Amino acid sequence: MMSDDFAQARVSYERGSLDVDAVAVDPFEQFGRWFGRALAVDLLEPYAMTIATVDSTGQPSARIVLMRGWDVDGFVFFTNYESQKGHELAHTPQAALLFFWAPLEQQIRIEGRVERLAPAESDAYFAQRPRGHRLSAWASPQSTVVPDRAYLEDQMRRYERQFAGNDVPRPDYWGGYRICPNRFEFWQGRRNRVHDRIAYCRAVPSAPWIIERLAP
């Protein structure tokens, strides 16, 4: 049921504009411009991104993860390979990302194929995590049903004892993924919902990016 409060909830986006002639030729450079601004204004969790995957039946699912690196090869995040998203990516190694920075009235959509990072890359990142975060990778059977909160706390204590006085190694079932984009879309909110949408796409990695304006 839609209430009048929902129907009348409106925000007028008036903080910026975006035009084909003003964006970078390369979408990674354009991402860097916007991401730099998100960092500069001290947003809460500017690294947060929604990742959408699909299961074997085509059912999509989405959740927020943290971007832990990006360069011209793609965008990196880490997770449990045996989680729901891990199983879905094993079946269909394609994903969509979404960054939304409300104070800037901007969002970025990214789509592409997904690949696992090399074990050495995952090892290097895992070693930098706080010890408690490394222990939780062992303690939490991500996405599976557990009896209660106490079970998870017991598991944490179990692995604290197991690794007491020693380094916590990376579990084989935990590591990184890289999303290798073939499409970007940069969205800038505008007044009266006539938003600016600039898309970049290419069919193969070696091809030049095609830049187009999309209707809102």
Q: Counting Cβ atoms within 10 Å, is residue 5 exposed (0-12), middle (13-18) or buried (19+)?
A: exposed
Handedness of CA 88, 89, 90, 92 (dihedral sign): positive
Unique residue bearing structure tokens 């991104």: 49
Using an 8 Å Cβ cutoff, are 97 and 113 in contact? no
The strand pairing partners of 53, in sequence order, are 61
Closest CA to 143 of 191, 89, 84, 98: 84
Q: Is 191 a catalytic residue?
A: no
Q: Per the residue annotation, which of 178, 193, 197, 202 is the catalytic one?
A: 193
Distance between alpha carbon 213 and the CA centroid of its chain, in Å?
24
Dist CA 178 CA 73 (whole Å): 8
Residue 123's Cα: distance from chain center in Å? 20
Q: Which residues contact 14 (CB under 8 A, 6 or more apart)?
A: 105, 189, 190, 191
Q: Which residues are catalytic?
A: 193
